[in-house]
Every structure is written in C-alpha cells, then in structure tokens.
Structure 1
C-alpha cells in the first residue's frame, strides 16, 4: 500500500498515467459500497444558457463604426429588371419572387441580376465621389502565379491544341480514305457489270441471237456516235473513204505474205502507165544529179554577187 500511496501522491496510476482514479482509491470506494454494477460514467452538470439580449446589443454598439460608404462599399438591392422580358410583356421569376431555390438556372440568374443592379447603383456613386472605376493603362499588378507557372500552362495548352489538331487531321484522312475506297469499289463494280454485259452480248452474237455490234463501241461510241442519230441510220451507213482504202489495200485478214507481188495479169495491165511521167517530160522536175529542184534561198555570197551584177 505504501507504493500505491506514493503513486497517488505523485498523480500516477498503476495501470495508466492518464487514469483518474488509482487502484487503491477504487478499492476503498468498492469497500464503502460507492461502486454500482454496470458501466460507471461520470455525470456532468447541464450547461445553462443565458439569453443576454442587452449584452449582445451592447457588443453590437461597440463593434459598429460610423464609417463613410466609400470605406464600406455595401449595397442592398433587388435584382435588375429584365428589359427584354418587359418589352415582350413577360413576367420573370425575379419580379414575381417565385424563384425555386432548387432550380440552378433560376438561382444563378437571380444572383446575376442582383450583381447587375449593384453595379448600376454603385458606378454613379463612385463617379460622384471622383473615384476611378477603370484600370489605367500603366497599371501594374503582381500576378498570383509566377511567369514560370504561366509558361508551363501555356505549353500545356499548346500541346493540347496540337494534339486536337492532329486528331482532327487524322479523322479527316480516315474519312477521305473511306470515301476513296467507296468510290473505288463502285468503279470496280461498274467495270465488272460492263464486262459481264459485254461477255453476254458477245455470246449472243456468236450464237446468232443478234446481229448488232453496238457493244463494240462502248461508252464513247454511245455518247458520240449515238447522239441525235437513230440506230437504223447508223447501221445502214457504210464505212468512210479512209476505211475503204485501208480495207482495199490490206484486206480483211488472211495471207499477207506475197500480196504485193506482180502477177501475170498485173504485169500485162498497162492501164495505169503514163508516158509523160515515165520519160521525165512531166510531173516532178529534177536538176543536176537527178535531185529535185527546190525554192531554197541562195547563199549570202550568191546574193552579194547578184546584187553587184544589178549595179
């Protein structure tokens, strides 16, 4: 017990330093019957509240200072009127005081109109007191953020803008590729369709089901030859002179070798012989050496000699 008494005098319990009662005190209280079964919670007295109205008013008088308005800049006003709504004859929620506090749009518009009314009331009063309301051109204000931080933000914004431009460019390229691929597919399908129609027309012609050769002209023949000319007239019209001459000269196929050789009949045929041309009496004129004469301009020396002779 001597150790417990010393601990109690020192204010230190046997179990914890921060406990209110020591073991010895608990044993004494238990022997006296002061401890009851269950959770022992110390009872605190209820706080008494005093509504000292006079004291609060006195504190308000002490706090209040009769300062001029320019030092306080306080305004209490209603929201500004909506000119557009008045012109249209509409009644706004601000005018009828039927603003729903849960409606974000109405609440924010009410704050906006109230701030607008405060500005409209404060500006004339400030101008009357000769207080400038616009910042001068040479006004210098220290920024809340440093230049290095602003440079980082600017770089980040530029990188974000560049990434967005690249994304838009890639999107446009993808769309162009899709469109080009679509056009290419349509062209291939059109060619396959025309090829199929051509093969079908050739087979019909080979089988003798038709005697028309319009499929050989293609789109160009349809657009140029068939414009304004009926098909019956085109079929009746024969080949032109150039086509006839080539057909007569080269034939329609078959053996080509030896086609220009003389035969007995061609050798004895003298219908195309012309004596004037054969003996040099007509036709082309030739000069010395058998060369054909030409109207070539004489040389410089020859022209000079001719000029001297004329003198």
Structure 2
C-alpha cells in the first residue's frame, strides 16, 4: 500500500526553496519536476493494513445530537412483536415458530405480514384516542407527485408512440399485401402466357391437320356432355379428314405415295365407264356422247321464235 510520508514532503524541493510543498498545485509540481527540483521518496510502501478506529464515545455523542425529544404523533414509530399465528396451540410451538427461517420465503413473508398487522393493531386505537382520523374522506383528492401538465405531456407522448407503432404495423401489412399482390399478378401473367402458348400449339396442330378438335377455343370451360348412350358424345374425325388422311397419309413418307404399282394397275374394281372422259353408256332420258346435254337448254333462233309467235296469233 502506498502512503504519503511527511518527512519526504520536505525533501521534494531543494533547501534553497522557501515554498511549502503542501501548498503546491499540480501545475507547480509539474514545473518543479521539469526543473529537476523534485527528489525521489514521494510514495512509500506501508506494511500491513491500516487499523480502523472505533470511537464508541464519539458515535454515542452523535446519536445524542441526532436524537430529539418529540411526541409519538410526530414520530409514529411502533415496535411490537408479531401477531401470534392462530394455528399455534401450545407455548412450545410458539417458541419454535418465533425462530424464522430466513431461507424460507413463505415463512419470512408471513412474518412480515404478522409484524405489520401487530403494528396496525397497536397504532389504530392510539390514533383514535388522540383524535387523529385514519380514514380518507370520500371527496378527498390526494396531491399527485407530478403536476397535471407533466402527466399531460406523458399522455401525449404515449399516444404519439402508440400511433407511430400503429402506422408502422399498417405499413408492414401494406408491404406484405403489395408483395402478395405482386406475386399473384406474376402467377396470373405466367398462367395466361402458358394458356396462350398451349392455344398456339393447338392451332398449329389444327392447321397441319394433326387434330380436328376446336375445343381449345372455348378456353378452360368444361365441355357439356350430351345425354345418351356412352360413346355417342365423343365425335371422331370427320369424313373429309378421313379422306385426306387416306389420300395424303398421316405423317410419314409422302414421296412416291401416288406412284402406280403392278397391283394397282391390274386392279379395275373401281373403274367407272360413265365417268371415263364422258364416253360411258347413255343413261335413260339423256343423250349420250361427248356433247350430251350440251344443247339441252339452248335458246331457239330469231326466225324460229318469230314463226312460233305468228302461230300463236
């Protein structure tokens, strides 16, 4: 432990200096240190701990000075024993219960409660005897520790803080709604693009003859099934589609598909003489030949029409 030695204070400065070291300030000490006038020995090591002084007479004198002879009504101090517990039946149990276990929270709190109860039972009759009212009137308003203006400021501050929290919460909800709305909008746009691409694929298939269904034009509406026997509601490819598929093929190689073969050359089952260059046999009621039916509705000449007109007269 470091201490200050009185003998060392005299050796701080040279003998030719007449300055009292105890009156030097920090600045003067720094100047003296810079000039080399300070000598070692300012701090010395003390052996052991300092002994604390216990001045009993001085403490008692301080207590007598602080103590004032005041009436009990000015002091209102009450020192009583705790109210005995109703569960205690014998003196032995009361003596045992007087020793409160400080580690038991419940027992300690009950001791405080019974101590306060005993103080109230002692003080109330004494206050009533001194004619001191112990009940607050119904129209009594206690003076607050803080002024109404201060409480009004606190109220306004709390209200503004609550409004700011509500605005922040609403802003968070709006941001979440906008985010969700944007997500839904993106999903709707993607769905529309997918439907459009599917429709274009169906249109291309229809144009190429790969499909004869136009159900994709109806959108996502479910098709109405016609009542009747099962299988009647389903429409197959039309006759025109079948003919084209038979004639031109349905995919695959098309080059040389119309080329004549030995079997097709010898097959005359589908030959029709009446359609072969108009040289077939005459049909009943019609003139045969190349120019059959050519002059059937020809207008008579002028002379013939004149003769027919004169005959009618």
Same fold, judged at TM 0.5 (above): no
Aligning the two structures, in what range does the TM-score lie when normalised by the shorter sequence? 0.3 to 0.5
TM-score of the superposed pair, with normalisation by structure 1:
0.40
